[in-house]
């Protein structure tokens, strides 16, 4: 940036970004507007993910021993929650937000010493940061048809509910052990002989009264499903193919309810697709998507696989643009675009 905009004044530009007090909102809004003009549309996707920056020491804001996706293990690093607007094979990174782990947000003196702005000191999970970024993109009228995320976000029921409440289509990864309900699960009022006021909440049962339906792990739910080969697009080495299976289920996103002696579990939420994808190596991945029931398997598979584009964006930012947050940042990461 200094070479193009401030030749011979690198230190001044660094001071302006790292230490200067200025409102970044207009710059961030302009980035969203330009991204929308480039790749926005009904067939675009907004991909939520995170990426790590390995770091030594303990003074860089947000640095801690945490999972480093770049290394595939727990290591000393910073973690950035990213938002990528993409259409086809063209990604545009629209936000990178620094995640502060508990070792930072619980240490007020450390936050002050690192000059972290007050508005960034409140603990926020990665899904909470992601929803805030989605709200910001929607406020700027950025056009996209579906929100995509990996299992790190998809396992969060509040994250999935947040997307649904905003009227958004979504397709997210989930752990194989995440529980779901069969699509035909029913809610009925239990019959009781005890006098008094009726129950305020139902219990989940099958069509047979008082026959309890327990939740079932995603892996188990798809164990007997029919898997078929699906090709969703052309790659550099030919058509991309994998095996997929999909069933309509009910999510476990409803309010919690104690079920007899079975403990507490969440009541059924909305209908959704439960999808399994199997690679050539035999490895299986699982997903949930609130796409319409009439959506064909190829479209569902294409939506899920579109998430890979954010990995390309992360790699390009690190290799070609030298992605690295300022050592004296205030909790923000800025992206230079050409």
Q: What is the pLDDT of residues 98-117, one digit of tens each?
A: 999 999 999 999 999 988 88
Token pair of 214, please?
Answer: 């327990």
Q: Does the pLDDT at position 211 exceed 60?
A: no
Q: Does the pLDDT at position 88 exceed 90?
A: no
Number of separate helices (H) and strands (E) present in the chain? 11, 17
Residue ranges of the chain assigned to CATH 3.30.420 = 21-172+310-333
Question: Could you identify the residue written with the tokens 């293990």?
Answer: 73
Predicted pLDDT of residue 37:
96
**pLDDT tens digits for range 112-151:** 998 888 888 999 999 999 999 999 999 999 999 999 999 9
285 in Cβ contact with 242 (< 8 Å) = no
Summary mean pLDDT of the chain: 84
H-run or E-run covering 149 = strand 146-149
Torsion of CA 273, 274, 277, 278, to 10 degrees: -150
CA distance 234 to 85: 21
With a pLDDT cut of 70, the percent of the chain lying above it is 85
Q: Does the pLDDT at position 338 exceed 70?
A: no
Predicted TM-score of the model (pTM):
0.83
CA 216-219-213 angle, to 5 degrees, is 10
Predicted pLDDT of residue 213:
61
CATH of 21-172+310-333, one of 3.30.70, 3.30.1380, 3.30.420, 2.60.40: 3.30.420
**pLDDT tens digits for range 59-72:** 889 999 998 877 78
142 in Cβ contact with 134 (< 8 Å) = no
């Amino acid at each position: 940036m200094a070479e193009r905009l401030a030749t011979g004044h690198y230190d001044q530009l660094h001071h302006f970004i790292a230490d200067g007090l200025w409102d970044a909102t207009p710059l961030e809004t302009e980035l969203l507007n330009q991204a929308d003009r480039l790749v926005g549309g009904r067939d675009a996707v907004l991909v939520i993910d995170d990426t790590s920056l390995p770091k030594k020491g303990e003074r860089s804001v947000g640095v801690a021993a945490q999972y480093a996706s770049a290394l595939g293990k727990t290591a000393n690093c910073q973690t950035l929650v990213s938002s990528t607007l993409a259409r086809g094979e063209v990604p545009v990174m629209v936000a990178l937000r620094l995640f502060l782990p508990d070792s930072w947000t619980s240490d007020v003196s450390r936050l002050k010493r690192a000059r972290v702005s007050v508005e960034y000191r409140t603990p926020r999970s990665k899904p909470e940061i992601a929803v805030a970024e989605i709200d910001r993109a929607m406020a700027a009228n950025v056009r996209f048809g579906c929100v995509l995320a990996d299992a790190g976000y998809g396992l969060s029921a509040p994250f999935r509910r947040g997307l649904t409440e905003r009227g958004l289509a979504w397709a997210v990864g989930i752990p194989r052990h995440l529980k779901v309900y069969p699509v035909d699960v029913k809610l009925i009022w239990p019959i009781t002989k005890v006098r008094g006021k009726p129950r305020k909440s139902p219990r989940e049962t099958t069509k047979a009264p008082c026959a309890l339906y327990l939740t079932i792990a995603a892996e188990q739910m798809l164990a007997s499903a029919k898997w078929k080969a699906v090709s969703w697009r052309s790659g550099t080495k030919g058509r991309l193919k994998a095996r997929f299976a999909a069933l309509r289920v009910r999510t476990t996103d409803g309010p919690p309810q104690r079920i007899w002696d079975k403990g507490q579990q969440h009541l059924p939420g909305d209908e959704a697709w439960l999808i399994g994808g199997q690679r050539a190596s035999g490895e299986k991945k699982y997903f949930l998507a609130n796409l319409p029931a009439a959506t064909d398997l190829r479209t569902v598979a294409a939506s899920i696989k579109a998430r890979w584009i954010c990995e390309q964006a992360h790699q390009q930012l690190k290799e070609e643009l030298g992605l690295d947050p300022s050592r004296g940042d205030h909790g923000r990461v800025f992206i230079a675009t050409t």
